Chain A
Amino acid sequence: MSIKQVSIFIENATGQLADVTKFIADNNINLRALCIADSQDFGIVRIICENPENTVETLSDAGFVTKITEVFAVELTDEAGSLSKALRVLADAGVEVEYTYAFLSTKKNATAYMIFRVDDNEKAIKALTDKNINIISQSDIF
């Protein structure tokens, strides 16, 4: 049930994000979600897109430092406390969350999703499924 996220390493400098997104646009790669993490020196651009393998290849060929990371996406019901509930389940299962970010699907009437990168995907997915929290697959997003 995991989803392949594409991570791109960039310099933390003016214009770097513009350059990488222009490259993505020029290569006709449609993004569903994007998140940025940064330090003083560098940034990591993380994207969810339709064809992760091809995207990584295209980016690598152009000289970007890039890799695929296995993450998973949780469907959140449109009510207060649903994110907190999911995080509680993960905490109780002893899963460490590295990072998380949100996006809206255009496919299912603006449903909200959270992407999670955790230390143990299998354990996290099992814990959430056991509590009837919906994990979606790559094909559900596009």
Chain B
Amino acid sequence: MERIFWVECPNCSTRFYCNYNELRHAGVKLLCPSCHARFLPDEAKALDEREQLSVRPE
């Protein structure tokens, strides 16, 4: 399953999610779909990057 992370925009508090592998640590500023603010993931008002617990067949 694709790993995502949720962010909360520091400007308008809109929550949206991003591709973890492409954007979490790439140094790319995210774009808020609501107010168009640009910010790094670590500048988000809130960040949810919990990973899926590994489920392996027996």
Are chains A and B native binding partners rather than an unrelated pairing? no
User: B residues near A, CB below 8 A?
Assistant: none
Residues of A within 8 A of B (CB): none
